[in-house]
Structure 1
Amino acid sequence: MFGRSLEKAYIEVLAGVRQGTRIKVLFNPAEYSLERANAYKATALPGLGSPLIQFVNGDAATLSMDLFLDDWTDPNGPPSDIPLLGGADGAKSVKDRIDEIIALLDIDRTLHAPPPVRFVWGPLRFEAVIEKIGRKTSLFRPDGTPARASLSISFKEFRAAFDICLESPDKTKRRQIDVSESIWTIADKEFGDPRRWRVIAAASDVDDPRSLRPGDWLRVPPLEVSNALNRTQ
């Protein structure tokens, strides 16, 4: 165990013009915080001493940590009269390291959004977008350039749209018809096929789809129910 080399943490860019770039941290974090929560809706009903609690959705997990940067221990640090530690691998100044990480908050020209990243440290692999970065500088070179700093980074769990499984055991949803919608457009949005309007009509007890008006409510069954009913038609 003690004979192993130190596993270095890094941030990997997953998409955009910098896809595949790995940013190694100078020092592994001393600790990190991983939080996850669920969102619930409280509905008050007359005659009850407490509201009904209904699950709404799961919130994205958040990974938070502080990264320490110091030119005095960086191979490309301050003047030669200051003793340096470490080797020549990844030789970058504190300023360079700060700029490289903060640039992950910039909008990528091909994604039109900041790029998703993956934080990797041993068994920990966390795919996310960087939500915020706080910087505290505690030491400077004579010209004012940062020589020692800490970055407080918050990663928000990221899941691409194509990773979401449409074939799910979710309960039937209720959809209100908008002014610009019809039962056919809703079927197209929910199931990818406007011909599946009959599935929604059957679940909503609608005999004449042309009688529907904006503001009316429809019941949309799960996709696997739609698939089963569609095969029988």
Structure 2
Amino acid sequence: MALSKAKIIVERSSGQEIIEVMFNPTEYELDTANEFTDDEVPGLQTPLAQYTGGKETTLTMDLFFDSYELGEDVRKFTSKIANILDVDSDLHAPPPCRFVWGSLDFKGVLNSVKQRFTMFHESGVPVRATLSVSFTSTQSMKEQYQEIPRQSADRTKQRTVKLGDHLWMLAADEYDDPGAWRHIAEANGIDNPRELTPGRKLTIPRLE
């Protein structure tokens, strides 16, 4: 069974536009990363890597176009994709789109298009081109919140400070995150995290 053609579904303010590629890509690349910051923890010589969030996922690929046998300017076909970069006057931004091919359904915006023309008619009109395209994922705030794993404590707890305890140790024990020690400090009015008195009862707040 022949593989279906990849397509770009553009959600313009004037309506939906579907652009089929001329040839399916031979490969594509998905790039995802996380962001971390160095978190200074009292009592430790080196900072801890504190997770601050995920970056957008990017989808990149090359798309091939050949209009030689059609006898047409290949830009007639490539411009449909390049024009997705234009700002939609009603949206005040380039329109969101989806790249759909087989099991891949990538929702985002077209971030960049590099057009490389490699064959020309004797008149100088380009008839073959390769487009290097890059899409960046987008999600609404609601969608992002729905994907956040709920790993917080179920309820507020109390812990009694023992000799040798540090706030970052308690945070690691309760939240699996040493960098969350500030939440404990704030909940207990602790200005100097180095001054923990053994026997003191600490409130361990639930992380929202």
| TM category, shorter | 0.5 to 0.7
Match of 1:156 among 136, 148, 173: 136
Tell me: CA distance 1:25–1:55, structure 2 relative to 1, closer, same or farther (3 Å): same
Cα distance per residue 1:158-199 (max 9 Å; x no partner): 11345343896487xxxxxxxxxxxxxxxxxxxxxxxxxxxx
Structure 1: distance between partners of 2:188 and 2:128: 68
Cα distance per residue 1:56-106 (max 9 Å; x no partner): 010011100000011135xxx22xxxxxxxxxxxxx741111111110000
Match of 2:84? 104
Runs of 4+ in 1 over 4 A off after TM superposition: 44-49, 166-171, 203-206
Match of 1:5 among 2, 5, 8: 2
1:129-144 matches, cutoff 5 A: 129-144=109-124
Question: Secondary structure of the equivalent of 2:145?
Answer: coil
Greater relative contact order structure (CA < 8 Å, 6+ sep): 2
Match of 2:201? none
Question: Secondary structure of the equivalent of 1:21?
Answer: strand
Counterpart of 2:31, as a letter, is E
Tell me: CA distance 1:161–1:204, structure 2 relative to 1, closer, same or farther (3 Å): same
Match of 1:51? 47
The alignment yields a C-alpha RMSD, in angstroms, of: 3.0
Mapped pair 1:41 → 2:21? no
Query: Which consecutive unaligned segments of at least 5 residues does structure 2 have?
Result: 153-185, 190-206
Question: Secondary structure of the equivalent of 2:16?
Answer: coil
1:219-230 matches, cutoff 5 A: 222=208
Query: Which consecutive unaligned segments of at least 5 residues does structure 1 have?
Result: 79-91, 172-202, 207-220, 223-233
Structure 1: distance between partners of 2:100 and 2:146: 29
Q: How many residues align?
A: 160
Mapped pair 1:62 → 2:58? yes
Match of 1:30 among 20, 26, 30: 26
Structure 2: distance between partners of 1:53 and 1:99: 44
Structure 2: distance between partners of 1:72 and 1:145: 10
Match of 2:176? none
1:68-87 matches, cutoff 5 A: 68-72=64-68, 77-78=70-71
Structure 1: distance between partners of 2:45 and 2:125: 61
2:100–2:106 CA contact under 8 A, matched in 1: yes
Judge which range, 44-53 or 99-108, deviates more.
44-53
Match of 2:162? none
Structure 1: distance between partners of 2:143 and 2:42: 41
Structure 2: distance between partners of 1:41 and 1:26: 44
Give the % identical residues: 37
1:202-221 matches, cutoff 5 A: none
Tell me: CA distance 1:108–1:170, structure 2 relative to 1, closer, same or farther (3 Å): farther
Pairwise CA distance, 1:5: 2.9
Structure (1 or 2) with the greater strand fraction: 2
Match of 1:192? none
Structure 1: distance between partners of 2:20 and 2:34: 32
